[in-house]
Chain A
């Protein structure tokens, strides 16, 4: 069998693949070596396993349940601000978790708007801590994702089908049965699995809203075994359990078609002849209103409560912000370099792409645990807090970057591969003169994504950092812990601004002159 001749550089991609594999699976080895026997697990640890699974199942189910009417409303209504709302649905992806947590606290917390309103009505204030707080935060993050995925599903139903349905005089129930239900059956299992996975590895939410014997996730138990008992054996064992949970979910996701997060089909409104009556319209607008309020209120609360304190933030916040920015930029460059190298080599060896994607099912906290154990053997891991944070976050953002860069890269090779080969444009010249200009737009977007993700990290850094060398999210968490809520809100607003600014600057760089 003849083979197409390739003249792209292979070795950086092979090194990257080895590095990613070492981080995803090798750290697991380090963890496995340190793990104690299962008898070391207490009753509380098993409760953590149960809690992790139950809250993730419920969070995924609720996210999808609310997303269905919301996505249907968005799919069949056009109204002013629709595009903006759809863009906003993508925002939680780059929103630092700690910011959302503070926003939710400001609305639903003990002293939040909702509790204040309840006490006026003479009712007990609600608490955001514990099981329902964790679920609430997970729904806040994943309802938008579920809505976008389902909206794409609706957009993928050909408009002709709806025309046919109307000519056959289908009622809303028939449309649901014959058009919408088959689409949902295809999309929901994959979306559910992805959200379940996200909810088992969202350490920051469990750290802030969870805790105690009744609301501890496996990741939180790892952190506590580390931080409070410095029991590496137990932490390692818990890490293995976390990996098992992720592996089961990831295996399930292979079975289902996992929906791709793209921008296709989001902006088309399908003309629906069945939904012209007033009650359907009112119901749709109600859902659009509910989802907007649910998403916007916590962010508005941050802006309102954070703005006054923005100017007199303690110096520790500013130095933490600087550390965060440097880490985020480093992480973005690392992520782009590794993704590009891997994607180039994946043109030749397709299986490399799977390695790059593998971190989607990995827990950053487990990766951190493994790296800690390895580094602990040779040096003080705390010295490496920032580079490790940058590296782990770069690897965690690779699946999303590869999804953006991969198609653009194969496109560039398809269009220009032969021409470049014939002109002797190989190696670095090829990257500089052909691929960079062609990939600029997805590269800018991806770098922004990676920077924002790393900027908001509150996982690995919590394992590694010394108290005096915190990043901004960690510093905010500490301010929260010492009940300095106004300063925490101010710092959260700063973090939100910085994350969005970093994303915007990188994305703008990509689109400039494009």
Chain B
């Protein structure tokens, strides 16, 4: 279980605050107006920003001070998820060993992961030789081999067309189910939320609401959400 206890982060005159927990295996959408602090919340959980107050716990263990790679987290960023100078296999392999010195068995795991996301035989391709959708698949294959219990997605498919985005969200959902992982995704598209989320965290002006059931929230939306959706 991921727990944020009275966490607070100040950047200039912007303050992000939240106090909530997320049950294991949940699929959570993080939504809110632009500038509300969605990406900042993800950076905080990922360990790229250190909070000014409060604590973050994973399975009751305090990980507030842990470095990004020491946390039980794999990431999909908005862009630059793949190193342009590495092949697909190398990009996935980094998820197993950052030194890229892989054993035979580990190389096989990489190939299996690529097959699992529909990229059989594309090991030696570089990102420039792959389509946008295929690049997302490589990044998801890496999430698969990383085998971390928490996956953070920061609008990773926003550069793709609507149909492709739907497909990728479906694939991400599959990956998280296969790993039994908790999944947190920032998005600004309500259709995406419908597609995968069971819980939703609404953020406005840096205030993170505790996660609520999406169907329930839609029936009784907070004022800001009504304005955001425009109904």
Residues of A within 8 A of B (CB): 1-5, 7, 415-416, 418-419, 421-426, 429, 433-434, 437-438
B47: Cβ under 8 A from any A Cβ = yes
From B48, B50, B52, contact of A421 by CB (8 A): B48
Binds A, one of B28-36, B95-103, B184-192, B214-222: B95-103
Which 8 A-B residue pairs are closest in the complex by CB-CB distance? Answer: A424-B69, A437-B85, A421-B68, A415-B80, A422-B75, A425-B98, A424-B98, A422-B68
Asked if B83 is at the interface (CB within 8 A of a chain A CB), the reply is: yes
Residues of chain A within 8 A of B100, CB atoms compared = 433
Supposing A425-B98, A438-B85 touch, asked if A5 and B67 sit within 8 A by C-beta, the answer is yes
Check if B67 sits within 8 Å of A7, measured CB to CB: yes
Instruction: Report 19 cross-chain contacts, Cβ distance below 8 Å, ordered by A residue.
Output: A2-B52, A5-B50, A7-B67, A416-B83, A418-B46, A421-B47, A421-B48, A421-B67, A421-B68, A422-B75, A424-B98, A425-B69, A425-B94, A429-B98, A433-B83, A433-B100, A437-B83, A437-B86, A438-B85
Bound Cα distance A20, B17 (Å): 44
Question: Could you tell me the distance between the alpha carbons of A429 and B67 in the complex, rounded to whole angstroms?
Answer: 16
Q: Chain B 63-81 against A: per-residue CB contact (8 Å), 1 yes, 0 no? A: 0000111100111010011
Q: How far is the CA of A2 from the CA of B47 in the complex (A)?
A: 11
Known: A419-B80, A419-B81, A438-B85. A5 touches B47 (CB 8 A): yes
Besides A416-B83, A418-B46, A422-B74, 6 new A-B residue pairs in contact (Cβ under 8 A), listed by A number: A2-B10, A5-B47, A421-B67, A422-B46, A423-B94, A426-B69
**Whose C-beta in chain A lies nearest to the C-beta of B81?**
A419
Question: Are B68 and A433 closer than 8 Å at their CB atoms?
Answer: no
Partner of B98, one of A1, A415, A423: A423
Interface residues on B, range: 20 to 34
A415 to B74, CA, bound (A): 17
In the complex, how many angstroms separate the beta carbon of B208 from the nearest chain A beta carbon? 16
Partner of A2, one of B11, B46, B85, B95: B11
B9 close to chain A: CB less than 8 A: yes
Residues of A within 8 A of B75 (CB): 418-419, 422
* Chain B residue contacts of A416, Cβ below 8 A: 80, 83
Give the shortest distance, in Å, between B225 (CB) and chain A (any CB): 27
A1 to B11 CA separation, bound complex (whole angstroms):
6
B51 interfacial by beta-carbon distance below 8 Å: yes
B213 within 8 A of A: no
Which of A2, A415, A423 contacts B69 (CB under 8 A)?
A: A423
Q: CB-CB contacts of B186-202 with A at 8 A, as 1s and 0s?
A: 00000000000000000
Q: Give the shortest distance, in Å, between B182 (CB) and chain A (any CB).
A: 16
A418 touches B48 (CB 8 A): yes
- A72–B145 Cα distance when bound, in Å, is 59
B167 CB, nearest partner CB in chain A, Å: 23
In the complex, A503 Cα to B98 Cα: how many Å? Answer: 34
Return A200 CB to nearest CB of chain B, in Å. Answer: 43
Provide the bound-state CA to CA distance between A1 and B95, in Å. 32
Cα(A422)–Cα(B43), bound, Å: 11
Q: A415-B80, A416-B80 are in contact. Are A2 and B98 (CB under 8 A)?
A: no
Distance, CA A45 to CA B100, complexed state (A): 63
Give Cα A429–Cα B73 distance, bound, in whole angstroms: 20
**With A4-B48, A5-B50 in contact, do A418 and B77 touch (Cβ < 8 Å)?**
yes
* B49 at the binding interface (Cβ < 8 Å): yes
Find the B residue at minimum CB distance from A438. B85
Bound: A454/B62 CA distance, A? 54
Q: How far is the CA of A418 from the CA of B71 in the complex (A)?
A: 13
| Residues in chain A near residue B48, CB distance under 8 A | 4-5, 418, 421
- Which residues of the partner chain A approach B43 to less than 8 Å between Cβ atoms? 418
Residues in B with CB closer than 8 Å to A4 are 48-49
CB-CB < 8 A to A434: which residues of B? 83
Evaluate contact between B11 and A423: CB separation under 8 angstroms: no
Chain A residues closer than 8 Å to B86, beta-carbon distance:
433, 437
Q: Report the separation of the CA atoms of residues A2 and B77 in the bound assembly, to the nearest whole angstrom.
A: 21
Cβ of B11: which chain A residues have Cβ within 8 Å of it? Answer: 1-2
Q: Cβ of A5: which chain B residues have Cβ within 8 Å of it?
A: 47-50, 67-68
| Nearest A-chain residue to B50, judged by Cβ | A2
Asked whether A422 and B10 contact (CB < 8 A) given A5-B49, A5-B68, A415-B80, the answer is: no
Contact yes or no, B69 A421, CB < 8 A: yes
B189 to chain A minimum Cβ distance, whole angstroms, is: 23
Complex CA–CA separation, A3 to B9 (angstroms): 10
Min CB distance, B224 to chain A, in Å? Answer: 25
- Asked whether A433 lies within 8 Å of B98 as measured between CB atoms, the reply is yes
A429 contacts across to B, CB distance below 8 A? 98-99
A421 to B50, CA, bound (A): 14
**Beta-carbon nearest neighbor of B52 in chain A:** A2
Which A residues are CB-close (under 8 A) to B94? Answer: 423, 425, 433
Write out, one digit per residue, whether chain B residues 81-96 have a CB within 8 A of any chain A CB (1) or not (0): 1010110000000110
Query: A2-B52, A5-B50, A433-B98 known; A422 and B80 CB under 8 Å?
Result: no
| Closest B residue, CB atoms, query A432 | B99
Is the CB–CB distance between A2 and B51 below 8 Å? yes
Among A418, A423, A433, contact of B95 (Cβ-Cβ < 8 Å): A423
B80: which A residues are within 8 A, CB to CB? 415-416, 419
Contacts of A418 in B (CB 8 A): 43, 46, 48, 68, 75, 77
The interface residues of chain A lying within 8 Å CB-to-CB of B68 are 5, 7, 418, 421-422, 424
CB contacts (< 8 Å) of B81 on chain A: these are: 419
Q: Are A2 and B67 in contact (CB under 8 A)?
A: no
Query: Is B73 a contact partner of A422 (Cβ separation < 8 A)?
Result: yes
